[in-house]
């Protein structure tokens, strides 16, 4: 079961998404050789505090509760890296994933940055991973079901000679960070059987491809959180929170003015003057599907 959101709710989620976007700008400005992942995490925590936003990652249950407001994963680390004393070095890539809740609504987004100059192959990994996220968002506007998008994503990555991670998937998002449905970046018999879902207005999902230069397999590190590639080769991760509206995909964690989305919603998340919620808003509100 997943919940469809009204235009008004999506506009609220855009406000949360803009805070996540701003947190990423704080991080982007800090990424350079010598900075520690802990320093980046502290700056993002400060950004959330200034906006009165609640960090979503801190305290997530596990063998140890997740101790930071960001997951920061370097080089062969795929996702769920714990920020700390590690200093970034020239030629590293660093994936920064963070989310917050603002006025009861969640946003979640990840970006992988090059630290200084990286090798041509690693740069291509970043381009392919951000490219496959862009492709997915584009196709969300023209496809009927998620499985079509997921299949195109997997093909795009395979043709680039890289692998899509299959152990982790995207997710529905709204009042909670992790809601139904699951949003895989690949097609599987399971997705075709039971996990597929319609791309209809009101759907809000976090789309988050993880792409490896080498094989798709990942392993857990002894800190109980960090996931790294089994073959030790680099991995990248990009994520946006995206709503489907009756005017197309709306990237809720994009820069102000760059969310695309419906004309009726201004980039700052306000309903534009004279635009009214769609007539079936009441129906969409809290409506459960499947
Ligand atoms: Mg995330
Ligand atoms: Mg996510």
Note the pLDDT tens digit of each residue in 134-173.
999 999 999 999 999 999 999 999 999 999 999 999 999 9
Least confident interval from 75-79, 132-136, 214-218, 269-273:
269-273
How far away, in angstroms, is 87 Cα from ligand 2 center? 25
Among the listed residues 103, 44, 94, 34, the one whose alpha carbon sits nearest the alpha carbon of residue 68: 44
Task: Give distance in angstroms: CA of 110 to centre of ligand 1.
Answer: 5
Kindly report the pTM of this predicted structure.
Answer: 0.89
Query: Which domain does 105 fall in, by range?
Result: 7-286
Expressed in angstroms and rounded, the spacing between residue 99 Cα and the centre of ligand 1 is 6
Please tell me the number of the ligand nearest to residue 98's CA.
Answer: 1
Asked whether the beta carbons of 218 and 237 are under 8 A apart, the reply is no
Parallel, antiparallel, or unpaired for β 2-3 and 288-289? antiparallel
pLDDT tens profile 196-254 = 899 999 999 999 999 999 999 999 999 999 999 999 999 999 999 999 999 899 999 99
Looking at the structure of the chain, the number of domains it has is 1
The CATH number assigned to the domain holding 120 equals 3.90.230.10
Give the largest CA-CA distance in the chain. 56
- Is 220 within the bounds of a domain? yes
CA of 206 to the centre of ligand 2 (A): 5
Does residue 88 carry a pLDDT above 90?
yes
From ligand 2's centre to the CA of 278, what distance in Å? 28
Ligand 1 centroid distance, CA of 241 (Å): 9
Average confidence (pLDDT) over 57-80: 96
Q: Is residue 114 part of a domain?
A: yes
Residues forming beta bridges with residue 100, ordered by sequence position: 55, 107
Q: Give the ligand with the smallest distance to the CA of 80.
A: 1
């Amino acid at each position: 079961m997943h919940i469809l959101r009204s235009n008004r709710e999506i506009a609220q989620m855009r406000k949360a998404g803009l805070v996540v976007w701003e947190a990423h700008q704080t991080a982007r400005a800090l990424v350079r050789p010598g900075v520690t992942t802990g320093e980046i995490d502290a700056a993002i925590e400060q950004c959330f505090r200034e906006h009165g936003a609640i960090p979503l990652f801190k305290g997530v249950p596990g063998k140890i509760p997740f101790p930071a407001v960001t997951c920061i994963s370097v080089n062969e680390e795929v996702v769920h890296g714990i920020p700390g004393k590690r200093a970034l070095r020239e030629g590293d890539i660093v994936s920064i994933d963070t989310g917050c809740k603002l006025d009861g609504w969640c946003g979640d987004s990840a970006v992988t940055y090059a630290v200084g100059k990286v090798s041509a192959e690693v740069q291509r990994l970043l381009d392919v991973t951000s490219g496959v996220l862009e492709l997915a968002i584009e196709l969300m506007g023209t496809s009927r079901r998620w499985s079509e998008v997921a299949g195109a994503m997997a093909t795009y990555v395979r043709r680039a000679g890289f692998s899509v991670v299959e152990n982790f998937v995207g997710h529905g998002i709204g009042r909670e960070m992790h809601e139904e449905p699951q949003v895989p970046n690949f097609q599987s018999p399971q997705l075709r059987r039971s996990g597929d879902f319609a791309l209809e207005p009101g759907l809000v999902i976090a789309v988050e491809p993880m792409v490896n230069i080498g094989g798709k397999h990942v392993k857990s590190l002894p800190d109980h959180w960090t996931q790294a590639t089994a073959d030790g080769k680099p991995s990248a991760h990009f994520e946006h929170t995206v709503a489907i509206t009756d005017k197309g995909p709306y990237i809720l964690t994009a820069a102000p003015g760059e969310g695309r989305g419906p004309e009726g919603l201004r980039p700052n998340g306000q309903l534009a003057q004279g635009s009214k919620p769609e007539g079936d808003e009441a129906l969409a509100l809290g409506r459960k599907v499947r």
